[in-house]
Chains A and B, each alone.
Chain A
Amino acid sequence: MRTGVAIIGGGLVGAATAHYLTRSGCDVALIDKGELNRGASGQNAGSLHFQLEHRLVEHGDALAELAAAIIPLSLDAIGRWTGIEADLGQGDLDIVMHGGLMVAEGAEQVARLERKARLEEKWRLPTQLIGSDEIRRLAPYLSRSIAGAALCRAEGHGNPRLITAALVRSASASRRLVLRTGVAVSRCARSAAGWRLELKTPEGSRETLEADAVVNAAGAWSADVAALAGLHLPVFPVALTMNATEAAPPFLGHMIQHIGRRLSMKQLREGNLLIGGGWSARLLRRGTRFQCDRRPDFRLDSITGNLAVAVDVVPRLRALHLLRSWTGIVGVTSDSLPILGEVPQAPGYFVATGGSGFTLGLTYGAVIAELITTRRTSLDITLFSPARFSPLNMFMGR
């Protein structure tokens, strides 16, 4: 089989890339060894967060400056998420962008919010610092201990269960998409005409796929997939925990984050509150290998710790029950920044992974599609290029 672009990874990023590529007239094969949306794309809480996160700004100003370079992508993401329902024309996709509040307790944290705001202002992300009186008015459900907050009106959440499927449906409608789920890539090598992939089903049947270009959108599996092509990608699987409460009547209108503690919280339209914030779970191991195809184990202290922060910040959560907790695996790069672009040592091999893959997933897809079809990008993605790993990959490849 021959195609234009072979996309490895059927999560949000892969689906978005397929959508934008097929719309530009490219033939695309979207491949996943399992079902679509099975990895982090389907397991995350759907946060659309554009403010600089606590974990990015807590390690000193130099790193914070570097992390702020993501903001142009965030601005692009705001536009894309705002317009995606109309763009896809498939009806309501449960996308809520009514505003996000990053809260602070105590003077030191308020000062951190101010530093963050200055950095965001430099990069033109629209956020607004608000004091306790305004917080009382805007978000009366927040604890009295909240001394200040940064409001970003575009923040909110998408619905991980709906968006990937909708993007795939759109790509399918173009008649340029070939979908291969339940199929693993067992070989990926350069050929005279581009790239040659070998696909294998669990039953053992094989198929050869020739493509002009390959996109590695394999999330937590990006490094393994890259290894098939003889490349190093420093993407590491990290296990996180998420919690959902029983449904409550609507009261939490914002997506909540915290500048000094690990918390992200939102209320779904069904009423459940989703509570997370980067609390770890335990990856299963066999020897030295982390097992990314098995659900990570819980850490009880991650659940209790996360909920303790949540209840502190939104006291009326004490009325509710924890309904379920689940673990998921995300791919985290060595420098926490996304990897976006073409691998210089492997022309035609593109990568779109890492960073905030859900929030920026549409943007990644659009940027890679643009890069493949026009050889340039309107957004400057030099900072995120796989070229920064040339010290690794100059010794790799064939």
Chain B
Amino acid sequence: MPADVVRFTFDGRPVEARPGECLAAALLRAGHAAFRTTPDGRGKRGPVCGMGLCFDCRVAVTRPGTGHEMMLRACVTRAEDGMALRSVPFAENEPDA
């Protein structure tokens, strides 16, 4: 039975998306204008080109069942149940599997 809402988290906070919606749209609707902090730690960035070319909308995503994070473009990635997003990847220097 298809769900009528997709649930994921962003920096630990719950976000709801419509089935088929992209992460960028869901995050914007939830009031998040920025999806990541720049590697130097100083800037915040959000979506700009909307078509997957600028890479400014990229966000650290752990997809369910994969066990590892990936930097994915929020504007071309569909929201899926159980995704965990972070605005800063590798925030802690944790040991790898």
A–B touching in complex (CB under 8 Å): yes
> Is A136's CB within 8 Å of the partner chain B?
yes
Q: Name the A residues within 8 Å of B97 (CB-CB).
A: 144, 315
Q: Name the A residues within 8 Å of B89 (CB-CB).
A: 248-249, 319
User: Would you call A271 and B95 a contact (CB within 8 A)?
Assistant: no
Q: How far is the CA of A97 from the CA of B97 in the complex (A)?
A: 28
Residue tally, chain B, CB below 8 Å to A? 17
Q: Name the A residues within 8 Å of B95 (CB-CB).
A: 136, 140-141
The closest CB in chain A to the CB of B60 belongs to: A319
Chain B, 19-70, CB within 8 A of any chain A CB: 39, 41, 55, 60, 68-70
Contacts known (A249-B39, A249-B90, A251-B90); A141 close to B96, Cβ less than 8 A:
yes
- How far is the CB of A394 from the nearest CB of chain B, in Å? 58
> Is B94's CB within 8 Å of the partner chain A?
yes
Residue tally, chain A, CB below 8 Å to B? 20
User: Would you call A319 and B68 a contact (CB within 8 A)?
Assistant: yes
Q: Name the A residues within 8 Å of B83 (CB-CB).
A: none
> Is B71's CB within 8 Å of the partner chain A?
yes
User: Would you call A319 and B96 a contact (CB within 8 A)?
Assistant: no
> Is B76's CB within 8 Å of the partner chain A?
no
> Is A321's CB within 8 Å of the partner chain B?
yes
Q: Mark A296-316, 1 if CB is under 8 A from B, else 0.
A: 000000000000000000111
Q: How far is the CA of A328 from the CA of B96 in the complex (A)?
A: 33
The closest CB in chain B to the CB of A316 belongs to: B96
The closest CB in chain B to the CB of A253 belongs to: B93
> Is A2's CB within 8 Å of the partner chain B?
no
> Is A247's CB within 8 Å of the partner chain B?
yes
> Is B88's CB within 8 Å of the partner chain A?
yes
Q: How far is the CA of A318 from the CA of B72 in the complex (A)?
A: 11
User: B68 touches which one: A144, A248, A318, A321 (CB < 8 A)?
Assistant: A318
The closest CB in chain A to the CB of B93 belongs to: A251
Q: How far is the CA of A144 from the CA of B96 in the complex (A)?
A: 8
> Is A393's CB within 8 Å of the partner chain B?
no
Q: Name the B residues within 8 Å of A271 (CB-CB).
A: 39
Q: Which of A247, A248, A319 has the most CB of B within 10 A?
A: A319
Chain A, 271-312, CB within 8 A of any chain B CB: 271
Interface residues of chain A, those whose CB is within 8 Å of chain B, are 136, 140-144, 246-249, 251, 270-271, 314-316, 318-321
